[in-house]
Chains A and B, each alone.
Chain A
Amino acid sequence: MRYGFFSTAILFLMTLLFCLPMSVATAQTNLNSAVDFNQTIRPILSDHCFACHGPDSNDRQADLRLDTADGLQSILDSEERTRDYLLDRIHSKDPDSIMPPPEFQKPLSREQKNEIEQWVMAGASIEKPWAFNPPNATAVPPNIQSNVSGIDYFIQKMIETKGLTKNPPASPPEILRRLCLDLTGLPPNREQINRFLDDSSDATYHQLVDELLQSPHFGEHFGRYWLDLVRYGDTHGLHLDNYREMWPYRDWVIDAFNHNLSFDQFITQQLAGDLLPQLGDRGLIASGFNRLNVTTNEGGSIYEEVFARNVIDRTDAFGTIFLGLTVGCAVCHDHKFDPISQRDYYSLSAFFNSLDGRAMDGNTKDPAPVIRVATSEQESLIAEYDQSIQDFKQERQGPIESVDQAQIAWERSLTDQSLVTIQALHPDSVESAAKATMEILEDGSVKLVSDAGDKDTTTIIASIPEGNGWQTLHLEALVESEESKVGVSPNGNVVLTEITIEVGNPELDQPWVKIPTVYALADIEQKDGPFEIRYAIDGSFKEREGWAVAGHQNPGERNAWFVFAPLDTQETNQKIRVQLHYQSVFAKHQFKRIKLSLSDSNPSIPESQQITLGPVFSAGPFPIESPNPGYARSFASQGQAFQEDEMFSYQDQIFTWNKHEELTPVAAHELPTVVDRSSALVLYQNLQSPKPQNVTLLCGTDDGLIVFLNGKEVSNRRGPRELNPLDQEIELDLRQGSNDLYFKVINHEGKSEFTYAYRSPAIPLPTGLVDLVKTPAAERGSETNSALRQYYRHVFCLHPDWIALLDLEKGTRKAKEALEREIATTLIWKETKEPRAAHILIRGQYDQPGDAVDRDTPDFLGEYPSDAPKNRLGLAQWLTSDQHPLTARVAVNRFWQQIFGTGLVKTSEDFGSQGQPPSHPELLDWLAVDFQSHNWDVKRLIKMMVTSETYRTSHQVTPELLTKDPYNRFLARGPRHRLDAEILRDQALYLSGLLIDQQGGPSVKPPQPEGLWAAVGYSGSNTVRFQADQGDKIYRRSVYTFWKRTSPPPQMSMLDAPSRESCTARRERTNTPLQALLLLNEQQFLEAAKNLADRVQKEAGDVSEFDRIRWAFQTVTARLPSDAESHAIDSLLQDSKQYYRELPKLCEELVGENNENKAAWTLVCNTLLNLDEVVSK
């Protein structure tokens, strides 16, 4: 049985193969009685001969080329050869003689040989390649012009030539639905259906066309095709495939179509909007076109390779999008089929190699250059913040009375130590909470004389000495001798969990008021836990935190300074109460003897205890291919011992240390960088410390900064960022003796700004400062005064007014940054000041540059305008010149493809000799010239197409048309094909009333099945987890759907949408079972069915079920169903009602309630939305 069927089937098929195609063949041969060179012969020669006898001069065999008239002539009619030569070679049976040679694997078919023979016999006329001459419009005869459009004239002419019969006009519903879908990507709504079916006159049709062209949906629909072509996506496309913020460009495209921006401007602004300052931000957004290529930041990438790839990608895209040529074939060698040499290619690429930004994307959403595209609300808020920051900054730099007073006191203390008042406290009382015995000694120090409790709090009360502006409490922990340890515990260590300082006098009804300590310093702190001095002033009494003094490790005394706002001692007889809390888990970790004093200046310590700073040295800048390796790679002696005369070999260059006296603390310095590249600079400073101690390093850069101390990385902050001088505080744990401090500054791009300073009583003042302050303020000069002020304020000042001001500014900056993170950015083009040198890359290899080339365009496509600049603006001028052979042809062909399903040139991405010749060469040229001469007016062009008779013809497929013109290239019938993915989804949402009609904005994420991103994404990628949006966002048009290029939305990609990783000029239209499953079962398609069911109940009116069916059917197809169709649906409806009535649980699962009517209607609507007629146009 099986065999029987099999053989029958084969026999049947054989019959088909051997009979039917014959008739097709005959029909076609008859249609093409005269063999046309460009239509028939050139494609054969191109495909079978040009690879060896074509434009590629390096690989040309026998010095013969068949792509030029001269070359062809030489084998057709020359002294050595006659026409028979060609025919002999293609007919030869000798494998050594036959052309193409057998090893080429591309034999000519008998049909092709016949065609060549016919052509030769008919005189072998040779024509230039049709696409490389400027379009030349054949005039439409004047008597026809008045009532027939050019389109119909040429189409009709061809229909007659081919012996076809044209279909009658489409029915009103058919043309209405086609028109709405083609112009807006949405089906007609009820109002449009009612209106048009009521009056489908020509005038109404024209009026409808105008309305649709004015609808904002026009731009959304037309923009979408463009976005496929230019490979717009919401991620970078390679490796991590992180988010890329570019949607303002998408909105620009939509807007351009809606405002009917003339197509030459549309091209120009995208290519060179950055060079048209009059356009402002709009032009910059458009220039983002040049940034749409996929990019990477993969860890090991070699910068030059990525750079070369980006330039090649942009150049190829330019070729596909505007020229309709596969210029990319000339990356490695001269083009095999079209006359584009490798030199031409790289000359063209030179227009696209000078981006003032890095080739790697940094895995950020906004790799430079970018602009921010703020809403007006955001703009004004930012301006407000900026103003505040400016004000704060000014305030910070200007006079502040209280702070300046403090500065004067400080200056005084510098010039005359005698002016610094330090007063030891003589306690009135001392008390131990654990009842230990304490003793007050003569010098005011307090000594523990009994055994210590495991935990304790020592309370010391003393009179505040006379004087003004006390602001530092100095705690000295004393030892009996240099060898003895500072603590009473067996190991000699101490942990002070907290210190509190209060002022008051309860005896005089002045309660104790806590004085907040703003800053504390210790000469020695332990680093092996939460033991730094700051833990003793943090207000918490945690038993595992506090100032631990390493007493068990090193003998000798300890010092701490606690700084607070200057005390207001107007009140007399005030007392100070100091409590030392020893609440540590470590028992008896208490000082043996302490002494307290007050000072009216910031802490300072004796010269013998001071740290000596060495001069600053720099090595570099070292060029790096991207910031990442700069962070990872080791430069100079970074992190190792320093040798002033050491030399470093890096990338075949020698680097040495240079001394920089000018790199002084506090001031802002601009560090050297490498033009056009990222770079790393290493700075070195030596710190000599008399003992182990902590100092605070303050720094601020607009770059990445890594700091190494004595071979250890102590800080790693990635850039780039805005310079905020001295905003970063790094604790340096100095050892006794020499300390090597290295800064590695990683410059991402642009200039490199750097500030640094130290905060520590042990760090001496910069040389000359003391002399400086001795000079009376009036004589110092204003710059010096302001530098001094800055120095004081940043390094020493702890005045509460100052701190408050800093906090305010910091807070405002934070708020601004948070807002800025919300403002959309978009990638733009910005040209480097000087164009980069461009080279031919030998065999396309990034590391094998050949001859240098200048920016230029291929000669065979017309001359570069002599007055045009050699930049993208000039390139656009060249491209949009009337004489350019391709731009207008390529553009109108793609619009034709959008409307009619297939381009006049089917291979809309390739107008070269390997592409297909146009089905209607005259029409193509006529359209191109018409488009150019009418100011590249897109809406006018589209209107002409959709108002043509050709467009308005019925799409019925008759057996005759199917046989003679299976692909409908000659358009004797109207276009009919499956709708694109986006239209299918939008249509379902629209028909069901779910579509949210909102234009523009960030891309949205409608639901998709779980795990699709995670299944492929790099774990560190910011698009590895998909989180669907909520609310209205999920019902937006598909043009706004978030496009992750390495995992595009399945609802789109399953229906032939491209990944947007490369340029796509046309989509395939496949028909698969997976698509059926999608349209039947996907969440939103089902939701649409449910909502459509609701809509039917609500909107069809109070009519019979049968009429509801008719209403629903008409809503989705624009036509009323036949009786047979209505009955088929009715029977499904009735059966389903019955079924769901019997299975209430199932019913509830489907519609959430026990309502068989709703369930049955949902099933009916699911059916309607899956009709072939609805899925197709």
Chain B
Amino acid sequence: MNESQINQRMIHPELLASSMNELTRRSLFSKSAAGLGAAALATLEHRYTASASNSGHSPPLPHHNAKAQRAIYLFMSGAPSQMDLWDPKPNLTDWFDKDLPDSIRQGQRLTTMTSGQARFPIAPSIYQFSPHGQQGTMVSELLPHLAKQVDQIALVRSMYTEAINHDPAITYICTGDQLPGKASLGSWLSYGLGTENENLPAFMVMTASWTGRQQAQALYNRLWGSGFLPSKYQGVALRSRGDKVLFLSNPKGIDTTARRRMLDTLGSLNQLNLEQVGDPEINARIAQYEMAFRMQTSVPELADLTDEPQHVLDLYGPEVLVPGTFANSCIMARRMAERGVRFTQIFHRGWDQHGTLPKDLPKQCSDVDQPSAGLLRDLKQRGMLDDTLVVWGGEFGRTAYCQGNLTKTNYGRDHHPKCFSIWMAGGGVNGGVVHGETDDFSYNITKDPVHIHDLNATILHLLGIDHRRFTYPFQGLDQRLTGVEPARVVHELIG
């Protein structure tokens, strides 16, 4: 009997558990949490608990040798302006206040925020770009720290999407569909790969503070929700105030001793009931309460930065100790990666620069530049960058033409789905690569387009997953993160 056959048989997970008596699956996994065997076990466990049908035809994960064991996704919500940061268009200086040629726009539908504008005057970036790294990659002066990391980074200048507004676009890139109801990238990974540390969730999310435009685009729980996957795979928010994880702390008046004593009684009562009723789910519940108790220690320990030496803190910049900042979230992400959290996603808002871009964009960049770079350096110096994938990017790009009033020093940019820039680093990524090109207006892709599904396929690939075979049956379809149309792993980005 081969493994895929095993999958097609319905083995009740608790069947395994009950046969193991005291040896819960959880404890088994934790104590053997190394190597492929453990991953296979984890996969089995996840597959069986989750599978809604008997057609679970995904072979155990990973499908192939994973280059990355975990990933950190730095999400710039609101859509950063590619031509002010990563995709320089020096020739546009001559185009100041001239109209975007129709040959470039090609009748593309615009958002209704600018579709009524009489003109589409070009707003050249006012920021200087300079060459960095071994390939002389051009990076904006707004990102001095990241510029020094370009040799670690695979830069993609040819991302594109179909969605033109924030809600559908961010839902699309995070869940593979523009409409609510689908599972997020992190929940897929949590479902497929489980966690390396049973005392922490597999998928954690942070929403960082920002200093640019305060009227920022919304986020939605669905961006880290589990959609049709069981809710245990949804992202768990690490919060900057109150309990780090919801309901983590014992209430006032119940200290650890009292809690331990109470849990012992709860465990023995549940055990007595198990003997009467025989339902193996009771065993699983006992285990979850024990894990909850362990999390009460492991999470505060995770969030406690007092053991970080100053030279490490310095990597992330001056705000590293301010709770809730992007810098603080970045060092927290590194600590999670160290502890085996499979996927961490930081959402940084405020990138939606429709107007007064020169006022807001520098603030946004200063929020994230040093911390992002610091994260790469910190992972590198710990030898973790090799198997930790870092992704940086937003949900779409911005227009070369100006929204609102254009002056030499002030402009705004509307949404632009047809091209934008993202980068990846670590975890098997080929550092120093610059992939894809756009036309002189950063409007159309002229070489090597990468769809957001391709990006997600590539992320999955680096984590050892073949996106085509990574499915979950729901509503009659084998659902995939990358949708029904073919998506492509961008091998050019992989080292």
Contacts and interface: CB of A to CB of B under 8 A. Distances in A.
A and B are partners in one complex rather than unrelated chains: yes
B165 A1059 contact: no
A207 interface: no
A109 B6 CA distance: 10
Contact of B251 (A906, A1081, A1171): A1081
A955 B1 contact: no
B278 A1167 contact: no
A299 B231 CA distance: 31
B261 A1062 contact: no
Given A105-B469, A1046-B222, A1068-B52, 17 more contacts: A9-B31, A12-B20, A18-B1, A21-B9, A105-B468, A301-B112, A633-B112, A910-B476, A957-B280, A967-B12, A978-B281, A1009-B246, A1015-B237, A1053-B234, A1077-B296, A1139-B257, A1163-B254
Contact of A1053 (B50, B231, B241, B473): B231
Interface stretch (A134-142, A265-273, A491-499, A1120-1128): A1120-1128
- In this complex, the member of B180, B217, B234 whose beta carbon has the largest number of chain A beta carbons within 10 angstroms is B180
Nearest to A13: B41
Contacts, number: 336
Contacts of A1056: 230-231
Interface in B51-77: 52-55, 57
A579 to B, nearest CB: 49
Nearest to B57: A106
19 contacts: A2-B31, A9-B23, A298-B167, A300-B112, A300-B164, A634-B116, A634-B118, A910-B475, A914-B477, A915-B476, A963-B15, A966-B10, A977-B281, A1017-B218, A1074-B246, A1132-B265, A1163-B258, A1167-B265, A1170-B289
A467 interface: no
Contact of A1071 (B214, B241, B248, B284): B284
A1074 B222 contact: no
A299 B236 CA distance: 30
Interface of A: 2, 5-6, 9-10, 12-13, 16-18, 20-22, 24-25, 43, 47, 105-107, 109-112, 237-241, 294, 296, 298-303, 309, 313, 320, 326, 328-329, 337-338, 625-626, 628-629, 632-634, 847, 906-907, 909-910, 912-916, 955-959, 962-963, 966-967, 976-978, 1009-1011, 1015-1021, 1045-1048, 1050, 1053-1056, 1059, 1061-1062, 1068, 1070-1078, 1080-1083, 1086, 1122, 1124-1125, 1128-1129, 1131-1132, 1135-1136, 1139, 1146-1151, 1159, 1163, 1166-1167, 1170-1173, 1175-1176
B216 A1019 contact: yes
B475 A326 contact: yes
B262 A1166 contact: yes
Contacts of B234: 1053
B266 A976 contact: no
Contact of B221 (A5, A625, A1059): A1059
Contact of B278 (A958, A1017, A1129): A958
A1045 to B, nearest CB: 8
A1018 B246 contact: no
Contacts of B215: 1018-1020
Interface residues of B, number: 114
Contact of A16 (B19, B55, B257, B292): B19
A299 B284 contact: no
Interface of B: 1, 4-6, 8-12, 14-16, 18-20, 23, 28, 31-32, 34, 37, 41, 49-50, 52-55, 57, 109, 111-113, 115-116, 118, 164-167, 179-181, 201, 207, 214-222, 225, 230-232, 234, 236-237, 239, 241-243, 245-255, 257-259, 261-262, 265-266, 268-270, 272-274, 276-282, 284-286, 288-289, 291-292, 295-296, 414-415, 468-469, 473, 475-478
A2 B9 CA distance: 31
Contact of A1077 (B231, B248, B257, B477): B248
B218 A1016 contact: yes
Contact of B285 (A337, A1047, A1071, A1077): A1071
A1092 B98 CA distance: 74
Nearest to A1055: B231
B242 A47 contact: no
Nearest to A44: B55
B245 A1074 contact: yes
Contact of A957 (B11, B219, B249, B278): B278
Contacts of A1139: 257-258, 261
A1135 to B, nearest CB: 6
Contacts of A1159: 253
A300 B15 contact: no
B262 A962 contact: no
A302 B219 contact: no
A1077 B292 contact: yes
Nearest to A1175: B285
- In this complex, the member of A22, A298, A1151 whose beta carbon has the largest number of chain B beta carbons within 10 angstroms is A298
Given A294-B180, A1170-B289, A1172-B270, A1081 B248 contact: yes
A298 B53 CA distance: 38
B174 to A, nearest CB: 13
Given A6-B37, A628-B112, A1053-B231, A1128 B269 contact: yes
Shortest 7 CB-CB contacts between residues of A and residues of B? A1150-B253, A300-B111, A633-B116, A914-B476, A966-B12, A1062-B181, A1061-B180
A1075 B288 contact: yes
- In this complex, the member of B201, B207, B253, B262 whose beta carbon has the largest number of chain A beta carbons within 10 angstroms is B253
Nearest to B469: A105
A1016 B221 contact: yes
Given A105-B468, A1129-B265, A1072 B253 contact: no
Contacts of B276: 956
A374 B477 CA distance: 45
A1073 B112 contact: no
Nearest to B236: A1074
B488 to A, nearest CB: 14
A133 B250 CA distance: 57
Nearest to B7: A109
A1068 B230 contact: yes
B116 A9 contact: no
A1077 B289 CA distance: 8
Contacts of A957: 277-280
A672 to B, nearest CB: 20
A2 B279 CA distance: 31
A1050 B52 CA distance: 24
Contacts of A1171: 266, 269-270, 273
Nearest to B473: A914
B8 A302 contact: no
A915 B477 CA distance: 9
B55 A47 contact: yes
Contacts of A111: 5, 8-9
B415 A966 contact: no
Contact of A629 (B6, B115, B258): B115
Contact of B291 (A24, A1073, A1122, A1176): A1073
A1018 B262 CA distance: 42
A1061 to B, nearest CB: 4
A942 B341 CA distance: 46
Contacts of B477: 326, 329, 914
A239 B281 contact: no
A236 B3 CA distance: 45
B112 A625 contact: yes
B277 A976 contact: yes
B32 A632 contact: no
B217 A1018 contact: yes
A1167 B273 contact: no
B420 to A, nearest CB: 16
A956 B277 CA distance: 5
A1112 to B, nearest CB: 13
B445 to A, nearest CB: 20
Contacts of B246: 1009, 1050, 1054, 1074, 1077-1078
B277 A1062 contact: no
Nearest to B180: A1061
